[in-house]
Amino acid sequence: MQWFHANWRELLEYATDLEAPADTFVGELISEGHRHSCDSAGYDCLRQYRNMIYHGLLDWRLGISLLRCLASPDYVCGLDGNFATPELIEWPDLALRLRDSFSSSFSAQPHDFGRLPGLRVGRHDVIVVHPLWDTGAPQGVLAEAIAAAGEQPRFLDTFNLLRRESWAYQSLSQQNA
């Protein structure tokens, strides 16, 4: 632990390096080939027998986003509409795919709110958000989406939509209750 503390800055720089060499762990994670074949975690990147109990939680994209938040106070995780970093580049398409799957599973109406995908469930507007976005203090594309939605929209994040669709549906009744 002392070594991590002493080398924390260098570890963050290594893990968030956009120019990481292809033959490094980070370079392989952010490579185009890996990004297209792995939406969260697989046996070629994060999963292994020894971490089996955590497989449902592992997500290399979310992990890199979190590390970028720690490395830079200027990182806004796509709230500025810029999804160009390797961990975010496919996020808008993922959010759209998950929204469409959720909509067809639960007879919801797909609807876009500004630049963000969402849906209507009954009389409620629901916006699909990134798991690291603060829905209580919206800014950027999230604030725009909330302004485009009806009164008190609800939120579903892509982490839960990908892993537990039924739980996400149930959580809608508990939001803003």
Write b or e for each residue in 31-49: b if 16 or more Cβ atoms lie within 10 A of its Cβ, otherwise e. Answer: eeebbeebbbbeeebbbee
Final residue of a structural domain among 75, 109, 134 = 75
Residues 125 and 161 in one domain: yes
Structural domain span for residue 141: 92-174
Residue 3 pLDDT greater than 60, yes or no? yes
Residues 104 and 143 in one domain: yes
Q: What is the pTM of this model?
A: 0.86
Asked whether residue 163 is assigned to any structural domain, the reply reads yes
Asked whether residue 80 is assigned to any structural domain, the reply reads no
Final residue of a structural domain among 49, 75, 101 = 75
Asked whether residue 82 is assigned to any structural domain, the reply reads no
Tens digit of each residue's pLDDT (9 = 90 or more) over 16-66: 888 888 888 777 787 788 788 877 767 777 667 786 786 777 687 888 899
Place of tokens 């469409």: 100
Which segment of 1-15, 29-43, 131-145 scores lowest on mean pLDDT?
A: 29-43
In the predicted model, what is the mean pLDDT of residues 122-146?
95
Residue type, 59: D
Residues 12 and 40 in one domain: yes
Tens digit of each residue's pLDDT (9 = 90 or more) over 53-67: 867 776 878 888 999
Residues 68 and 100 in one domain: no
Asked whether residue 81 is assigned to any structural domain, the reply reads no
Residues 108 and 68 in one domain: no
Domain count, the chain: 2
Q: What is the 3-state secondary structure (H, E, C) of the chain?
A: CHHHHHCHHHHHHHHCCCCCCCCCHHHHHCCHHHHHHCCCCCCCCCCCHHHHHHCCCCCHHHHHHHHHHHHCCCCCCCCCCCCCCCCCCCHHHHHHHHHHHHHHHCCCEEEEECCEEEEEECCEEEEEECCCCCCCCCCHHHHHHHHHCCCCCEEEEHHHHHHCHHHHHHHHHHCCC
